[in-house]
Amino acid sequence: MRDDLALISRWIPTGARVLDLGCGDGDLLAHLQDDRQVNGYGLEIDQDNIAACFAKGVNVIEQDLDKGLGNFQSDRFDYVVMTQALQAVLRPDSILDEMLRVGREAIITFPNFGHWRVRSYLGFKGRMPVSSALPYEWYDTPNIHLCTVKDFEAHCRERDIRIIERQVVNRHHRSGRLTRAWPNLFGEIAIYRVTL
């Protein structure tokens, strides 16, 4: 399991009801079902990932996140999770609102576009950054809404969304003195747990 998913799984208690948006191959839900006996569903659009979910015994629904979560009733889940996909949806603000409508809490991860390497690459090379954390060229990137730690936290303040926990980590999913002191400059991946 990816390190960021391991960090997220620590925030989800035994027996929770979980919805995983853009669940990929179902690793997180499979782990939570086995380790924490969660009742979970994943939403995914990629056919290969859907097949991988079925193979792992993960309940998965084929759904485009850009169409919203209107097929779920309010307060249906304890946790709604979205890892590394917030920046790739058409309306991140709307999907965040929907996450908090259908779940008591939302857990979101995204790449921090305020990281010093991203800033330096753009500043010195004058081109959109390409790295192991951001491996796409400008023309084929799924990242359509670039976001920094400060952007996300400002959005939460404006929408009266309460940040319960935050971890800002490097590309190896480790937190150090610099990422704790200056998360917007030294953090590569932001992980938030929020509620209304």
Domains of the chain: total: 1
Find how far residue 11's CA is from the centre of its chain.
14
Q: In angstroms, rounded to a whole number, what is the distance separating the alpha carbons of residues 81 and 8?
A: 9
Length of the chain, please? 196
Please check whether residue 138 lies inside any domain of the structure: no
Residue 129, in any domain of the structure: no
Is residue 133, in this structure, part of any structural domain at all? Answer: no
Q: Which residues make beta-bridge pairs with 80?
A: 19, 106
What b/e readout covers 32-54, taking b as 16+ CB neighbours within 10 angstroms? bbeeeebebbbbbeeeebbebbe
Query: In a 3-state reduction of DSSP, which class is residue 109?
Result: strand
- Strands of 50-114, DSSP E: 60-62, 77-83, 103-111
CA distances from 80 to 16, 17, 95 (A): 11, 9, 11
Reported pTM? 0.89
- Over its length of 196 residues, how does the chain's per-residue pLDDT go in tens digits? 677 788 899 999 999 999 999 999 999 999 999 999 999 999 999 999 999 999 999 999 999 999 999 999 999 999 999 998 888 899 999 999 999 999 999 999 999 988 888 888 788 888 777 777 677 777 777 777 788 999 999 999 999 999 999 999 987 778 888 888 899 899 999 999 999 9
Q: What sign has the CA pseudo-torsion 9, 164, 108, 49?
A: positive
135 assigned to some structural domain: no
CATH of the domain at 76: 3.40.50.150
Owning domain of residue 61: 3-112+146-195
